Structure 1
Amino acid sequence: MEKKNCQSILVVEDDTKVRNLIKIYLDRDGYEVIEADNGVVTKTIIEKSHPCMLILDLMIPGINGEKICRWIREDLKSNMPIIMLTAKAAEKDRINGFKLGADDYIVKPFSPEELMVRIKAVLRRTGSHCGTLRFHGLTLKIVAREAWIQNKKLDLTHFEFTILMTFMKHPGQVLSREQILNYIYKNNEKAVSNRTIDVHIKHLREKINTQTPKNYIQTVRGVGYKLVD
């Protein structure tokens, strides 16, 4: 079966029967599956394999699911879609799950068919590019916060990486400075001015141009910038 446009889905579940059941349905729908049964292995897989989605049981050995979710959102600054799949059914648990950054919350026992529908809905909302972005020789590994161009790693600051990620999520689209800031600071807490964007883009261009003569980031006079091949 042809694989979906998604690098892989990491299923974190210490109950082997439940994990195998989820894998059967994911395989059936053409997704690539990675498995883990504890928090320590989960962190290692995320850092090395950069899955495009996480299906996360909260009550797992080693490092629990809440800590894994907090690590992804706060330490890695990753928007990887996370579906919590857990026996914790109380309203306060569901609310806490969403506060930690879950994109969906499913209580056990669950319907595998419903899980598949929810996976597709979350991927549709967030985009299947959450693990790795590619654009004509440029590659971004979002979880690892790594940028590569033609197999050469770019040494980017946090802000430069975030700007490049914004462009790569909207290739060919003209983005104003205000739009770029809004994508970066979704809560509207803007820590930089519009013109500061110009400085960061200038530095980003210089670093890209040390590896290739291509001018990926084009200035659209009077409007903003866009990513082009």
Structure 2
Amino acid sequence: MNQTNLIGKSVLIVEDDPKIRNLIKIYLIKDGYEVIEADNGAEAKEKIQQFDPCILILDLMLPKVSGEEICRWVREDLKNMMPIIMLSAKATEKNKIEGFKLGADDYVVKPFSPAELMVRIEAVLRRTASRCGKLSFTGFTIKPAKGEAWINGEQLELTHFEFKLLHTFMQHPSQVLSREQILNMIYENNEKSVSDRTIDVHIKHLRGKISEKTPKDYIQTVRGMGYKFVGL
């Protein structure tokens, strides 16, 4: 599996059984996905609106709001085409057909193989790549085509250069980047309009805007080497 292509792919797991939810989460994190969780239908609706995940792993028999209702709500009310993989103990052909008619992209019957589920997730994301024009990591979400960024659902007002900085960091999480590497990633053909040291000022401003939304220091200075973007 090509993990580089999976960086920033946010997955919402909606499953009321904590053992199943945690098992799926372990496999997803191992393969480089950003994981969001919900243990009931009402919470799932909140998380979908807050985080707009790239793919939804949806149990059907849920407390408060059923998986079928959530799927119908996503497709008909939100008009959202995020990929949906249904998980269910309902194994008849009729059940599967009903799931696909509601808008599911795949249907996995319980009990299932976690390894097979990972392959199915990768296949669905590959088929539906155009539906997720965003990048997510540890609470951050950006839409490169629109130049929009959020932290924990709150929008960040960034300059063009600050947005490029955040985009670069999110593409290389937990990796130490020198000032020169950052500038080479931001500017093609090494056409730089700022010096290596000027980038420190832009990072300071970016940090300040992030700190207005959260106390955590996501951009760490690595003495003598550069900067590293870290998770929770």
Contact preservation (8 Å) 1:22, 1:112: yes
**18, 21, 24: which one aligns with 1:19:** 21
Question: Cα offset for 1:31?
Answer: 0.5
- Report the 3-state secondary structure (helix = DSSP H, G, I; strand = E; otherwise coil) of the residue aligned with 1:30: coil
- Report the 3-state secondary structure (helix = DSSP H, G, I; strand = E; otherwise coil) of the residue aligned with 1:62: coil
Contact preservation (8 Å) 1:55, 1:84: yes
Deviations 1:32-91 (A, max 9, x none): 111111000000000011111000000000000000000000001111000001101011
CA distance in 2, matches of 1:7, 1:43: 19
Question: Cα offset for 1:5?
Answer: 3.6
Describe how 1:1-229 pairs up with structure 2 within 5 A: 4-127=6-129, 129-130=131-132, 132=134, 134-135=143-144, 137-139=146-148
Contact preservation (8 Å) 1:8, 1:32: yes
The number of residues matched between the two structures is: 147
- Residue 36 and residue 131 in structure 1: after superposition, are their counterparts in 2 closer, same or farther (change >3 A)? farther
Deviations 1:146-185 (A, max 9, x none): xx9968xxxxxxxxxxxxxxxxxxxxxxxxxxxxxxxxxx
- Report the 3-state secondary structure (helix = DSSP H, G, I; strand = E; otherwise coil) of the residue aligned with 1:9: strand
- Report the 3-state secondary structure (helix = DSSP H, G, I; strand = E; otherwise coil) of the residue aligned with 1:79: coil
- Report the 3-state secondary structure (helix = DSSP H, G, I; strand = E; otherwise coil) of the residue aligned with 1:73: helix
CA distance in 1, matches of 2:8, 2:53: 8
Letter of the 1:22 partner, please give it: I
Aligned to 1:164: none
- Aligned identity (percent) is 62
- Residue 80 and residue 140 in structure 1: after superposition, are their counterparts in 2 closer, same or farther (change >3 A)? farther
Aligned to 2:177: none
Question: Cα offset for 1:4?
Answer: 2.2
- Residue 90 and residue 107 in structure 1: after superposition, are their counterparts in 2 closer, same or farther (change >3 A)? same
User: Given the two structures, how large is their TM-score scaled by the length of structure 1?
Assistant: 0.58
- Residue 126 and residue 3 in structure 1: after superposition, are their counterparts in 2 closer, same or farther (change >3 A)? closer
User: Given the two structures, how large is their TM-score scaled by the length of structure 2?
Assistant: 0.57
- Residue 97 and residue 137 in structure 1: after superposition, are their counterparts in 2 closer, same or farther (change >3 A)? closer
Consecutive aligned runs of 4 or more in structure 1 exceeding 6 Å deviation: 148-151
CA distance in 1, matches of 2:143, 2:35: 21
Contact preservation (8 Å) 1:57, 1:65: yes
- Report the 3-state secondary structure (helix = DSSP H, G, I; strand = E; otherwise coil) of the residue aligned with 2:13: strand
- Residue 136 and residue 53 in structure 1: after superposition, are their counterparts in 2 closer, same or farther (change >3 A)? closer
Contact preservation (8 Å) 1:137, 1:149: no
**Gapped runs of 5+ residues in structure 2?**
135-141, 160-232
